[in-house]
Structure 1
Amino acid sequence: MSTDERRGSGEERDAGPGTRERIVVATSRLMQRQGYSGTGVKQIAAEAAATPGSVYHFFPGGKKELAVAAIRHGEREFADELDRCLTAAGDPAEGIVACVRALAEGMRDSGWEDGCPVASTALGVTGGVPEIRRAADAAFAHWRRLVFERLRDHGIAEDDAADLAYTVISTVEGAEMAAQVARDGAPLRIAGVHLARLIGLYASGPRA
């Protein structure tokens, strides 16, 4: 069935307000648990309480377009959590510790099924898909920018803050994967402690 036929079919009856968001959330949830290759459009539709016709109505590009939307959704979710932790703590070292603690708690509550939706989706694409790679790269860059801005505002020199932001996000991503494999929050807690110490070393030096 062509895209136009799907759009005009009765499969699109449930394409009302909120359906697109349900589809994106379902895609993000499934891909972070199963990866890109292990997730199909029919399963996404079922998880979203939608129909395949609705999925193709909102995402005529199919699974690739869904994956990009899921990555952007995951980007916003973690950016909001990261910003919340950094804002509440004031001190970026304390904010990172709070953030990794929240990540560990969320993963434990999911039965260690929920990892990073960005990494899980992007790394699960065999051979790489440019649109998905670019979306993932933009997500990591956004998170690094949030950390960089807090470090810079805390008085750390810009060059050091930029390098530290890379280190923070890369370390948290690796620790998140290790925690999921081990089904234990220790990798995240340990990463948080040492990242806080590293940030503290730079923050105690000469101000920018």
Structure 2
Amino acid sequence: MQTETSTRDRIVVAAARLLQRQGYVGTGIKQIAAESQATLGSIYHFFPGGKETVAVAAIRYSGQEFASLLREALDNEADPAEAVLSCTRQLASGLRESGWVDGCPVTAAALETLGADSDIQRACAEALNSWERLVFDKLAGCGFPAGDAWEVATTVINAVEGAEVTAQVNRNEEPLLATGRQLARLVRSYGIEPPRPGADRPRSASRSGT
């Protein structure tokens, strides 16, 4: 059982990296097999639906991977503005160190499959929505009204995703850093002080504000 789990994980991670670097259309099932050191039979054993089902698993993996980075940045900074800055700096550093090839596989897959009512699109939406929720929880926990917290969270994720693409295209980290600075300014413009260590945080609310 451990070997089977390890093989499946290798397939998912390899697919995630290939999607990150060359997109969904440019990634073939044979390439995933070669990259993960798995047989085609193993891939179809774990993913009977073939390339699309592998891609869905890879997108969910990548979504969780970015969520971990985002959560860490948000948790390590009491000030949500500083947390947003920290996240964009980390993304810029990682993109630069990869030689501008390790972009966001969720964005890449979403753009390539726009207009299709597919499992890939749904997986992309789930990832984006989960990232928004993390930012919302941070803002709401710092005292932002629910409506403002949701709108700012949506703005943060959309701006960061767009800036990452622009940085990758231009092979320059400044679009991400500039976006981080402006998002931090937006967050600070609400004039809400972050909670002091040990202080009770306001309870977060649903998207409807209830």
Q: Same fold (TM over 0.5)?
A: yes
Superposition deviation, residue 204 in structure 1: 3.5
Quick one: which amino acid aligns to residue 116 of structure 1? C
Partner in structure 1 of residue 199 of structure 2:
none
Alignment check: 8 A CA contact 1:154 1:203 kept: no
In the TM superposition, what whole-angstrom CA distance separates every residue of 1:64-94 from its partner, at most 9, and x where no partner exists?
Answer: 1011111101110010000000100111111
Distance in 2 (alpha carbons) for counterparts of 1:27 and 1:129: 21
Q: TM-score, normalised by structure 2?
A: 0.88
Choose between structure 1 and 2: higher helix proportion: 1
Distance in 1 (alpha carbons) for counterparts of 2:136 and 2:152: 7
Alignment partner of 1:33 is 2:17? no
Distance in 2 (alpha carbons) for counterparts of 1:100 and 1:83: 13
In structure 1, the gaps of 5 or more residues are 1-14
In the TM superposition, what whole-angstrom CA distance separates every residue of 1:137-176 from its partner, at most 9, and x where no partner exists?
Answer: 1110000000001001111111000000000000000000
Partner in structure 2 of residue 5 of structure 1:
none
Alignment check: 8 A CA contact 1:36 1:122 kept: no
Alignment check: 8 A CA contact 2:113 2:121 kept: no
1:9-88 equivalences in 2 (<5 Å):
16-88=4-76
Partner in structure 2 of residue 185 of structure 1:
173
Which moved further from structure 2: 160-169 or 119-128? 119-128
Partner in structure 2 of residue 141 of structure 1:
129
Q: TM-score, normalised by structure 1?
A: 0.89
Superposition deviation, residue 32 in structure 1: 1.3
Distance in 1 (alpha carbons) for counterparts of 2:111 and 2:38: 27
Identity level (%): 53
Is the partner of 2:4 in helix, strand or coil?
Answer: coil
Distance in 2 (alpha carbons) for counterparts of 1:66 and 1:48: 12
In structure 2, the gaps of 5 or more residues are 194-201, 203-210
Alignment partner of 1:102 is 2:99? no
Partner in structure 2 of residue 152 of structure 1:
140
Aligned-residue CA RMSD (Å): 1.6
Q: How many residues end up aligned between the 2 structures?
A: 193
Quick one: which amino acid aligns to residue 11 of structure 2? I
Superposition deviation, residue 123 in structure 1: 1.6
Following TM superposition, the consecutive aligned residue runs of length 4 or more in structure 1 with deviations greater than 6 angstroms are none
Which moved further from structure 2: 174-183 or 195-204? 195-204
